[in-house]
Amino acid sequence: MIIDSRRPFLRWLVLVLVLSGAAFLVVWRHPSGGLPEAPPSSLEVPGRVGKWHGVPPPVSADVREPSAEEPGAPVSVTARFLNAQALLSLEHLQARLNETWPGSATDSDATILWSYGRVLFLNDYRYACRLCPELDPQAAETAYTNAIQALRDPRGLDTARRVVAEHPGPRPSAPMPEYERAFQDLPPETTAAYQRVLDLLQSHSPAVDPLTTDLFNDAVIYAMSLTELADSQEQIIAGFTSMARSEAATLEQLGQPPPEPAAIDPSLEHQFDMRAALYRDLFAYRFTHRHGLDGDRLAAELAQLPVPSTALWVHLR
């Protein structure tokens, strides 16, 4: 039996090419490389009382230079300055909360404000890591724990104030790769919100680029927090209004007289105002003492700029 081996070879060759073409199309079109992603067993679901433990991306070489220092080596002047600023910001928030917060020890709004102190401190530490190779980016939580301890020691706070006062220049610039992405391929309302914030910052410091430091990060978080607060207030009031309307409609259907219009509890507005004031105080301090701006005026103007809470693109992680 004579077998012409060339024909099957050609057939298989064509098959291989077709399969390769199909594989190319699958990979090209499927966002996860042709395979479905891991199902919910690996979900990160914060749950009702959990926290968002975002997975920090690895610090790439263009963000942070490889550490040339040995662990335990003395930190640089820049690192001392940035860490001292971070500590003083945390101390400022704690002092303001202790002064002004009248709520109970379990008040969830107070919990959120304490958490702001933590998140902003971690942001500050990671910013410092970008400039100071002797700092370990993985040690951010440890640094926060140490900072909480340091707040109880007046000598540590005095040292931090002296380090900040004696530092010669402004807050140094660090690479901010998040900003490059912040204006790319975003929903139009997010880009517009960022642009408004950027324009305002540029009008406050024409000589300094707001995108060379964490100023833009602070400004976006502040404006976003106030927008979220205003949304919450509106939503609660709308809920009360909707209930009153539906009740009046039901009574009308029953042939009963409508109820007296209910007043909105004044404590509702007061609580939101109080939280907004604490946000304003916290960020005005940072604008003033870090970036040399008129913090109160900038905070007041930023409060007028809506930034949707979906726009958390620039947050340092």
Partner 1 sequence: MKKPTSVLAALLLLSSPAWAATIPLINAYVGITKTLYNVVNRFLGSTTVQPAHALNISEESTYGIYGTHPDGAYYYFGWKTWVRRNTLTGDFSYRTYERDSRTGNWVWVHNDPFWVGDDQGRLALRTYTCVPTPGAPYVYNELESFSLCAWAASVVKSGTFPPAGPFESYLKSSVESRQYNCADAYTAFYGTIRSDRIDLQESGITYVTMPTTQRAYAFPMTQWIGKWYDY
Residues 112-141 touching partner 1, rule: CB under 8 A, are 112, 115-116, 118-119
Pick from 6, 7, 38, 165: which binds partner 1 (CB under 8 A)? 38
Span 3-22, contacts to partner 1 by CB under 8 A? 3, 8, 12, 15-16, 19-20
Of 61, 165, 207, 263, which lies in the binding site for partner 1, with binding defined by CB under 8 A? 263
Indicate whether 62 belongs to the interface with partner 1 (CB under 8 A). no
| CB closer to partner 1, 88 vs 220 | 220
Torsion of CA 143, 144, 145, 150, to 10 degrees: 90
E-strand stretches of the chain = none
Tell me: does residue 262 bind partner 1 (CB under 8 A): yes
Out of 75, 139, 200, 236, which residue is the one contacting partner 1 (CB under 8 A)?
A: 236
CA atoms within 13 A on the CB side of 263: 4
Spatial separation of the C-alpha atoms in residues 222 and 130, rounded to whole Å: 22
Q: How far does CA 166 lie from the centroid of its chain?
A: 30
Nearer to partner 1, 116 or 287 (CB): 116
Does 28 contact partner 1 by CB under 8 A? yes
Q: Which residues contact 73 (CB under 8 A, 6 or more apart)?
A: 134
CB atoms within 10 A of CB 258: 11
> What's the closest the beta carbon of residue 90 comes to partner 1, in angstroms?
14
Burial class (CB in 10 A: 0-12, 13-18, 19+), 308: middle
Residue from the set 7, 37, 66, 74 that interacts with partner 1 by CB under 8 A:
37
| Sign (positive or negative) of CA dihedral 104, 107, 110, 111 | positive
Q: How far is the CB of 111 from partner 1 (least distance, A)?
A: 5
Nearer to partner 1, 81 or 116 (CB): 116
Q: Is 32 in the site for partner 1 (CB under 8 A)?
A: yes
Whole-angstrom distance, CA of residue 180 vs CA of residue 157? 36
User: Which residue number, 100 or 250, has a Cβ lying nearer to partner 1?
Assistant: 250
